Amino acid sequence: MTNRVLALLTLTIALALCVSPIAAHHGSSVYDTKLTTYKGTVTDFQFMNPHSEVWFDVTGADGKVEKWTGEAPSLTTMARLGWTKSIFKPGDQVTFTGNVAKSGTKIMRLRKVVFPNGKEMMIDRGEDYAE
Amino acid sequence: MRNRFPGLTFALLVALAPCPAIFAQTAPPPKAKTQAAATPDLSGVWRRSRTSSDKTRKHTIYELAFTISDDVPPMTPWAEAKYKANLPNLGPRAVSLGESNDPIMQCFPPGVPRAYLIRGEPIEIVQIPGRVLMIYEYDHFIRNIFTDGRSHPADPNPSWMGDSVATWEGDTLVVDTIGFNDKTWLDNDGHPHSEDLHLEERIRRASHDALKIDVTIDDSKAYTKSWTAHWNYELKPGWNLGEMICEDNGTYSDMQQKSEGGK
């Protein structure tokens, strides 16, 4: 639990340092408007309010592993769209599509996921107050 | 064409004249329209409709729930000063988490009408004898809206969520709320209000799946005139209110604030 909290804290520190003082906490302006897709291996998943977080490893062509975070809307919103706390399990091979943070921090706001069984799910950001 | 049988016609009319009275005696009595009418059913889980009125686009929840309406009237100098001093963490006037003095950051109640807006979450209406319960998914607030004919207390204690009494006008629940403290924001942009805030909500079911809530804000200490917002809600038949705990936002904010250097 501590490692996950530290990981989340670290990435929010890195992200926040690059964020202007007037940027909104939940603003979408700190994320790239174009979509990026990664195939990753899930390492952890926190189903919670106000944001759900899934951590995944992306192995590059050179064999280097990058650690990424996919951020989804709140538990209450995603539960209504079919998510449960078991929707991601460590080891799952998932394709994540989203808006990557402009700062270079390895976090993306999820827009679409493709589950190991091939099922696709769009994530409508407008459905949640956090955009 | 000339009536060839005026005498016969006259006789028939005379004979039939009492008939309406006879029919009235034998016809069933008209249905009573007042006390016997069923109370309208507003119950269900409702969420702001994301479809625009002309159906051309879908709004985001954020767009719908940022302010009460697009046309907030001019503020009094008293309110302008408060508005400048209110520092939201969202929208065009946003400051950092550490700098924001939004009372919901400390999980104080959102007040009304902000409870409807605050994170665009659904509401649930439950009707029981003498009361309508307006339940907000946001931090599980419940308003008791008394429909048992009582009036407001003569000198209500200032409260975060106000004192609400309501009557039915045909198919519309007319809710009157006073008795607010001035510690809440009217909306997510930090518009202020005074203890004199007087709200009227007119709530009616336009169709089985559509609820209309018209909110009139009257606060002459803060706004130069009263105004009405028109909100469309849609029924969410499969939904129950989820558990949304304000302090969970606080945990997340604390982490972000620490990362901003504890400002």
Whose CA is closest to B119, among A119, A129, A23, A36? A129
Q: Is B95 within 8 Å of A48 when comparing Cβ atoms?
A: no
pLDDT value at A11 more than 60? no
**Which residues in chain B are closer than 8 Å to A25, comparing Cβ atoms?**
89-90, 94, 97, 253, 256
Ordered by start, the domain boundaries in chain B are 44-259
User: Which residue of B60, B100, B123 to mutate against A (max A Cβ within 10 Å)?
Assistant: B60
Rounded distance between C-alpha atoms, residue B133 and residue B116, angstroms:
14
Residues of chain B with C-beta less than 8 angstroms from the C-beta of A130: 62
Q: How far apart are CA A16 and CA A37, in angstroms?
A: 23
The pLDDT of residue A117 is 95
CATH top-level class of A2-18+27-127: mainly beta
Residue of B nearest to A15 (CA): B259
Of A9, A13, A24, the CB nearest to B91: A24
User: Which of B73, B29, B67, B34 is closest to B48 using CA atoms?
Assistant: B67
Contacts of A128 in chain B (CB under 8 A): 61, 120
How far is it, in rounded angstroms, from Cα B225 to Cα B76? 10
Q: Would the ipTM clear 0.90, i.e. be above it?
A: no
8-state DSSP, B159: B
pLDDT at B254: 65
Does the predicted model carry a pTM greater than 0.90?
Answer: no
* CA dist., res. A90 & res. B210, Å (int): 42
Partners of A131 on chain B (C-beta within 8 Å) are: 60, 62
- Chain A residues lying within 8 Å of B259, measured CB to CB: 9, 12-13, 15-17
- Residues in chain B with pLDDT values less than 50: 20-21, 23-24, 259-263
Residue range A31-48, pLDDT digits in tens: 999 999 999 999 999 999
Cβ contact (<8 Å) for A12 and B243?
A: no
Chain A positions touching B255 (Cβ under 8 A) are: 5, 8-9, 12
* Chain A CA closest to residue B242: A76
In chain A, which residues touch B (CB < 8 A)? 5, 8-9, 12-13, 15-17, 21-27, 48-51, 74-76, 79-80, 125-131
pLDDT-derived band at A130 (thresholds 50, 70, 90) equals: confident
Asked if the Cβ–Cβ distance from A21 to B137 is below 8 Å, we say no
A94 has a pLDDT exceeding 90: yes
Question: For A12, which of B94, B137, B259 is closest by C-beta distance?
Answer: B259
A17 contact residues in B (CB cutoff 8 A): 259
Question: Would you say residue A115 has pLDDT above 90?
Answer: yes
In a 3-state reduction of DSSP, which class is residue A131? Answer: coil
The pLDDT value given to residue B3 = 54
d(CA B69, CA B66): 8
Instruction: Answer yes or no: do B259 and A27 touch at CB < 8 A.
Output: no
Contact A125 B239 (CB under 8 A): no
In whole angstroms, give the CA distance from residue B26 to residue B14.
20
Domain ranges, ordered by start, for chain A: 2-18+27-127
Q: Please name the residue that has the structure tokens 């001019």.
A: B74
Between B60, B94, B243, which is nearest A131 by CB? B60
Query: Residue B135 forms beta bridges with which residues?
Result: B124, B142
pLDDT of residue B54: 84
> What value does the mean pLDDT take over residues A118-126?
94
Whole-angstrom distance, CA of residue B100 vs CA of residue B85: 10
Q: What are phi and psi of A2, to 5 degrees?
A: -65, -45
B62, B95, B256: residue with CB nearest A129: B62
For position A21, what pLDDT does the model report?
Answer: 31
How confident is residue A22, by pLDDT bands cut at 50, 70 and 90? Answer: very low
Q: If you count residue pairs, one on A and one on B, with CB atoms under 8 Å apart, how many are there?
A: 77
**How far away is chain B from the Cα of A47, in angstroms, using its nearest Cα?**
12
